[in-house]
Amino acid sequence: GVPPTGNANYAWVQHFLYHLSPNGNAGFVLAKGSLTSKTSGEGDIRQALIEAKLLDCIVNLPAKLFLNTQIPACLWFLSRNRANDGFRNREDEVLFIDARNMGHLINRRTLELSAEDISQIADTYHNWRNVDGEYEDVKGFCNSASIERVKELDYVVTPGRYVGLAEEEDDFDFSERF
């Protein structure tokens, strides 16, 4: 598709895709608006990427992560050959990771991901992708959604829609309190 003149998100996506080898993978940072935007054909381009089975993973990043912008960001991972690229066949699914609640403030304007945070995100992706990986969905953090599920949600790829809310222990006893 033709990306809009006022926003280069999908121009970049298609540029990266154009330069991938037949078994190539790409990972890049985009503004979080790229996950939901439907204006000026962006939704159609995102739908085409998903239907062509090129979208491998989306990671929603926490706010205040970048020094040069306050725009919320996300990571996109594309793969040209998701069926037979030396990893398990994952062409009918997309991994969603919601890392918005990770990291710690190093000052009032800047958040930093710890080595453990980065490792948890990377290990989740690699375990999902690898044939012998030990991946499982974690409520509130990650979900491997079918392309059909993404279609049901109108090709909006915000991880929060797929991972749901984390299950929290609640020791509140209503009858005792009442």
Q: Which residues neighbour 52 within 8 Å (Cβ) at sequence distance 6 or greater?
A: none
- Whole-number Å distance between alpha carbons of 10 and 43: 10
Q: What is the dihedral of CA 135, 54, 11, 28, to 10 degrees?
A: 20
Between 69 and 98, where is the model more confident?
98
Give the H or E element holding residue 29.
Answer: strand 25-31
- Distances from the Cα of 98 to the Cαs of 60, 131, 178, in angstroms? 5, 23, 36
pLDDT digits (tens, 9 = 90+) for 117-176: 999 999 999 999 999 989 999 999 999 999 999 999 999 999 999 998 876 655 666 677
Residues 6 or more apart from 169 whose CB is under 8 A from it? none
**Does the model's pTM come out above 0.85?**
yes
The percentage of residues in the chain with a pLDDT greater than 90, rounded to a whole number, is: 71
